[in-house]
Each structure stands twice: as structure tokens, then as C-alpha cells.
Amino acid sequence: MFENLQNKLESAFKTLKGQGKITDINVAATVKEIRRALVDADVSYKVAKDFTDKVRTEAMGKGILTAVSPGQMMVKIMNDSLTELMGSTQSDINLTGKPSIILVAGLQGSGKTTFTHKLAYFLKNKKKLNPIMVACDVYRPAAMEQLKTLGEKIDVPVFMDIENKNPLDIAEKALAFAKQNSHNVVIVDTAGRLAVDEAMMKEISNLKKALNPSETLFVVDSMTGQDAVNTAKSFNEAINFDGVVLTKLDGDTRGGAALTIRYIVEKPIKFISQGEKEDSLDLFYPDRMANRILGMGDIVSLVEKAQEQFDAKKAAELSKKIAKNKFDFNDFMDQLNQIKKMGNIKDILKMIPGMSSAMKDIDIDETAFKKIEVLIQSMTPKERENPEILDTRRKNRIAKGSGQGIEQLNRFLKQFEQMRKMMRQMQSMQPGKR
């Protein structure tokens, strides 16, 4: 997401590079390019104009700092302005009530059902709650079965009544069931339509009045551009939702919806969803998203992703093994699996400040990990624990068993030894390790 916008903003900032100071002329040229980049990214012209007018006023009001170039100053102003445009601070989901009721609304195909199951997974695993999902889409073929299948996948129950065609009746029965069975969060997946219509809005409005949810979330497909903004306005007028969920951010999207919805409906973006996996739901942080848009990385999110896979006990054991030069292929596989769980490697690397531009034209072969795994799996348990015993005879057997050449195996072994050496050096540099 935002790759095209990021590239165009970088191009716009080049106008100020090498300039000795900020002037009316060079700021005007830069702001014009920024406005064009935003409009190309599907931000409405009015929002783009209001935003860039503010950026221009801010830039011209800044005193010149000797340690900061005009280009750097403009990036800082843009970062602050983008953060403000998207809501300034992260907005938490409201989980008041016993049980808490979360109503999920949106158009058909926006990703409501997938989001419902991701939210259930998030609340169960990260908030340590006991959610139940309610299937209230009585119109779409197999919608209830889809939610049931997703629920089984994450071990979260789904309340459904296939014979019942009254969403309000289903929701009220589900609420009673939740109270009887100690479920402290009820997530209601509602029906959508291919377009906004009066019947759908009335049905969702009635559900909201009857359930009085602590949180009503509007789910929108970020790939639909300005249509997403118009739909958000219609839903907000009808049900006055509490927050927005942007889905499909991993698709070929220009990102304008994320920048515009918050400005138009004045409701916070609470979650962003990218990918189909249940763990691909993230809280929305305006400042982190602004950093990503400007190619400044997102080191905080990267650390959080790493911590989710972090096992303190294993880390302590690994540290001892590294110190004794006992890091083996089993340890390597453990680390590899932890990295893979964090997501797409290229996306992870882009979170490192300065890496976004460097990764722009680089293709990372995700199957390279698989090749390494096959090499290690072709070793005996003894060989995995003792890398130093790999002689020519063993290497030839491993290469043959993996279906790869001896050259690939030798290359991997060389890289593995270099990594072991580097890890020992890093270990010795830690305080108290000398």
C-alpha cells in the first residue's frame, strides 16, 4: 500500500533538495507536486487542496534551522500533517458492557466476515477475552457456513440459526446465549448489499437500536477509492458508527481512502487489515502510517511483531548456546520459523527506516527459505546438532537428498558459519560479556 504515493512524494521533495532556504517559489512547486501525488492516490481534490494549503502555510511560517535542510523540514511538516489528517492518535476499541457488543457493518464484499473472524482472533489472543461471533447475514448464500468454518479455524464459537431469516431475532438469541455461557464479547456480522439501499440501512439501524452496541465498526474495502468515502458518509448518516476498518491494504490500492475517510466523516480508523490470515489485523496508528507513507519505516511495529513471536526462555537458552559456539541447524530453523510468522519478508524489511526506497526494485525470493529448510531436513538429527561433522561424504548425501547441488549446500554452510561468527562477536560486545 501507498508505494506509488510514496514514490511521488519523494519526487516532490527533490524540488527542495540542495536549496539553501525555504522560499515562496520552491515551496509552491513542492506543494503543487504533493497535491498532484495525493489526487493521483485517490484523495479527493478538496481534501488534497485543504491539506496542502495547510502544509504550505506551515512551511512558510517555519524559521530556518541551520542543522535542517529545507527538504528535511518539509518532510517533518508533511509527517506531522499526515498524522493529524489520519487522526493524530491511535483510537482503542470500546469494550464496555457485560458482554461487550460489537456491530460490524459495510457493503457486501468489503471484507466484513473475514474481519469479524480476525477481530475474534485478536480479542481472544491479544486481549485474552472470550468472544462469540454471531452470523446475522441471512441473505448471502453460505455466509453463515463461511463464518462457522472461520470460527472452527480459530476455535471461537459461532451462533447461527440457518432456518431463521430475522437478523434481529438471531442477534437477541445470541446475546442471551452469550450471557448464559460466559462470553464477554459478542461480535455481530451483519448483511451487506452490493450498493447502499434503504432496506439495508433500516435493518442495520434496527439492529443497532435493539442491541445498543458498545462499538459499531464500518468495514470498507480500501481498493474502492473515493467510492469508499461516499459509502462511509452514507453509513455514518444512517447508523453513526464509532470507527472505521480498512481492509485489503495489501492489494493494488492507491491509499486515498485511508487519508480521506477520517477527514470526511470525522471518525477514527481503528483497524487495518491486510491478507487473509487471522493474525493479519493491526491497530491503526496514524503516526506510524505517516512514517510508512513518507518512506521512513515503522520500527515500532516491527519490534511489536518480533515480540509477539519472542520466547524469553528460548532466547536465554539460545544466548548461552551462542556464547559456547553451540548454535546449530535446529536453532537456525527455530529462528527462521519465527521470522516467517512475522509476515512477508519484503514488507518486514520496509519497516526498517531507510529500507523502503532500497527495497523498491528488489525482488525477494520467498522460496529461498524453503530451499534452506529442505537442506536442513535432509540432515540426520546428529548432523543438525553438530554442524562441524559435515564432511564430503555427508555433504554429498545431503545435497542429493535435498534435490539441490553441492554448490547450493556449500553456499548455505558458508553463510551459516559467517552468521555464527557474527553472533559470537555481537554476544562478546554486550556489557559484562568481555
- What is the rounded average pLDDT of the residues 1-28? 64
User: What local confidence, expressed as pLDDT, does residue 23 receive?
Assistant: 63
Residue 298: the pLDDT is: 47
What are the C-alpha distances in Å from 29 to residues 21, 42, 57, 422? 14, 21, 14, 47
C-beta atoms surrounding 300 within 10 Å? 13
Domain membership flag for residue 90: no
Shared-domain flag, residues 239 and 345: no
Do 271 and 404 share a domain, yes or no? no
Q: Can you tell me the mean pLDDT for 82-97?
A: 82
Domain end point (choices 246, 272, 296): 296
Rounded to an integer, what distance in angstroms lies between the CA atom of residue 431 and that of residue 433? 6
Q: Is 274 a domain residue?
A: yes
pLDDT at 265: 83
Do 291 and 148 share a domain, yes or no? yes
Q: Which residue has the higher pLDDT, 3 or 373?
A: 373
Lowest-pLDDT range of 82-86, 144-148, 266-270, 370-374:
82-86
Per-residue CA distances from 134 to 158, 189, 420 (Å)? 6, 6, 51
Q: Mean of the per-residue pLDDT values for the chain?
A: 77
Closest residue by Cα to residue 115 from 343, 275, 225: 275
Lowest mean pLDDT among 98-102, 163-167, 253-257: 253-257
Residue among 82, 73, 80 nearest 30 (CA): 73
* Structural domain includes residue 434: no
Among residues 231, 217, 226, 227, which one has the least CA distance to residue 267? 217
Say yes or no: 143 and 206 in one domain. yes
Confidence of residue 121 (pLDDT cuts 50, 70, 90): very high
For residue 393, the model assigns a pLDDT of: 92
The secondary structure of 32-61 as a DSSP string is HHHHHHHHHTT--HHHHHHHHHHHHHHHHT
Domain count, the chain: 3
Domain co-membership, 292 together with 322? no
The answer to whether residue 391 is domain-embedded is yes
Convert the pLDDT of each residue in 293-345 to its tens digit: 776 544 455 555 555 555 556 666 666 776 677 788 888 887 777 766 666 65
Strands 243-247 and 269-273 turn out to be parallel
- Count of alpha carbons within 13 angstroms of residue 384, beta-carbon side: 16
Q: Which of 85, 120, 140 is the last residue of a domain?
A: 85
- Grid cell 512547486 — which residue? 29
Question: Pairing relation of β-strands 281-283 and 269-273?
Answer: antiparallel
Which pLDDT score, from 0 to 100, does residue 187 have? 93
Cell of 187: 461480535
Average pLDDT over residues 228-247: 85
Same domain, 129 and 223: yes
Q: In this structure, are residues 359 and 417 in contact, taking their beta carbons and an 8 Å threshold?
A: no
- pTM beyond 0.75: no
Asked whether residue 41 falls in the same domain as residue 130, the answer is no
The residue with greater pLDDT, 391 or 302, is: 391
> Per-residue confidence at 382, pLDDT binned at 50, 70, 90?
very high
The mean pLDDT value for 153-181 works out to 89
Same domain, 269 and 351: no
Do 85 and 260 contact (CB within 8 A), yes or no? no
Is residue 286 in some structural domain? yes
Q: Are residues 417 and 341 in the same domain?
A: yes
pLDDT of residue 392: 92
Q: For residue 196, what is the domain's CATH number?
A: 3.40.50.300
pLDDT digits 0-9 by tens, 44-82? 788 888 888 888 887 776 554 444 456 667 777 777 888
- CATH code: domain of residue 72: 1.20.120.140
**Confidence at 229, pLDDT banded by 50, 70, 90:** confident
How many Å apart are CA 207 and CA 219, to the nearest integer? 16
Residue 95 lies in a domain: no
In the chain, what percentage of residues exceed pLDDT 70? 71
Out of 221-225, 283-287, 371-375, least confident range = 221-225
pLDDT higher at 394 or 370: 394
- Domain of residue 54 covers 3-85
* Res 65: pLDDT: 41
CB atoms within 10 A of CB 414: 10
Q: Which alpha helices (DSSP H) does 221-362 contain, by range?
A: 226-239, 256-265, 286-293, 299-308, 312-323, 329-341, 345-350, 355-358
Compute how many other C-beta atoms are within 10 angstroms of the C-beta atom of residue 281.
22
In angstroms, the CA 245 to CA 221 distance is: 9
CB 84 within 8 A of CB 58: no
Could you tell me which residues come within 8 angstroms of residue 215 by beta carbon, excluding any fewer than 6 positions away? Answer: 93, 94, 95, 100, 101, 102, 103, 242, 243
Check whether residue 317 and residue 389 sit in a common domain.
Answer: yes
**Residue 217 belongs to a domain:** yes
| CATH number of the structural domain spanning residue 420 | 1.10.260.30
Closest of 206, 132, 112, 208 to residue 176, by C-alpha: 132
* Whether residues 125 and 196 fall in one domain: yes
Domain boundary residue, one of 233, 266, 296: 296
Same domain, 108 and 246: yes
